[in-house]
Amino acid sequence: MMKLQYKFRWFLLLGILAACSAASAQEVILVANKGLQVTAISAADLRAIFLGTKTRFSDGSHAVPVTLKGGPVHEVFLRHYIGQSPDEFRAQWRKTVFTGQGAVLKAFDSESALLQYVAATPGALGYVSRFSPSDDVKPLPTSK
């Protein structure tokens, strides 16, 4: 009986940890300009676009990735979708800029500013914790 209780507590703890992890990822929603024809983006393409190695979506249209300047949503997005910390992401882009291989992504102080830009810019792609229909953007789910 003691052994069962012990195992139950471990499973409960693991379940809570998994739920927290899933909750962290669900706090970040990928949003794109409504004019974008693609309806989903692969995890690999998303990573390549935000790291600058890929500049187009799967339909050939130009991608304009934008980021937040900081904050928990920015950190969760980078860790979950890009696999880097904010410092690693910044170092990666500094290397890109100082080697002449790219320009730094546009970054915004607030989610509302990011949403306004994504709504107004063809091909724009960003991430927020929430949005409303009035923001005039569309969610872009990831596919494996």
Partner 1 sequence: MQKPTPRRKLSLLFPVCLVCVFAGSVRAQNFHGIQFHGFANQAFLYSSDNNYLTMQSNSGSWRWTDGAISATDSLTDSFRLGAQIHMYQLGELGGANLQLDWATGDYKVNDSFGFRAGKVKTVEGLFNDSQEVDASFLWILLPQSTYPVDNQSFTLSHLGGDVYGYIPLGKRSGTLHYTAYIGYNSLDENGGYVKQLADDGLAFKEPPGGKTYGRDVRWAAAMRGLTAGCSAIVMGLDGSAPAGIPQVPSFLVNTEYAQFTKGKFYLAGEFRSTPPAKALTLELKTFPVPDDYRAWYAMGSYRLASKLHVGTYYSHYLNKSISTPTPAKYSKDWVLSARYDFNPYFYGKIESHFLHGTGLGYYGTDNPNGLKPNSDILAAKIGFSF
Is residue 16 close enough to count as binding partner 1 by CB under 8 A?
no
Helices (H) and strands (E) in the chain, counts: 5, 7
Q: Which of 21, 26, 85, 143 binds partner 1 (CB under 8 A)?
A: 85
What one-character-per-residue DSSP string does 38-57 give? -S-EEHHHHHHHHTTS--B-
Q: Is the dihedral of CA 56, 50, 35, 43 positive or negative?
A: positive
- Measured from the CB atom, is 93 or 131 closer to partner 1? 93
Q: Is 104 in the site for partner 1 (CB under 8 A)?
A: yes
Q: Residue 5 half-sphere exposure, CB side, CA atoms within 13 Å?
A: 2
User: What sign for the dihedral angle of Cα 12, 13, 18, 24?
Assistant: positive
**Closest distance of CB 4 from partner 1, Å:** 34
Q: Given candidates 8, 91, 130, 139, which one binds partner 1 under the rule CB under 8 A?
A: 91
Is 23 a residue that touches partner 1 (CB under 8 A)?
no
Question: For residues 93 and 52, is the Cβ–Cβ distance under 8 A?
Answer: yes
132 in helix, strand or coil? coil
Number of residues that bind partner 1 (CB under 8 A): 26
Q: Does 44 bind partner 1 (CB under 8 A)?
A: yes
Does 120 bind partner 1 (CB under 8 A)? Our answer is no
Residue range at the interface with partner 1 (CB under 8 A); choices 5-13, 27-35, 41-49, 125-133? 41-49
Residue in the structure block whose two tokens are 């009986």: 1
Which residues are near partner 1 by CB under 8 A? 44, 47-48, 53-56, 60, 62, 83, 85-87, 90-92, 94-95, 97-104
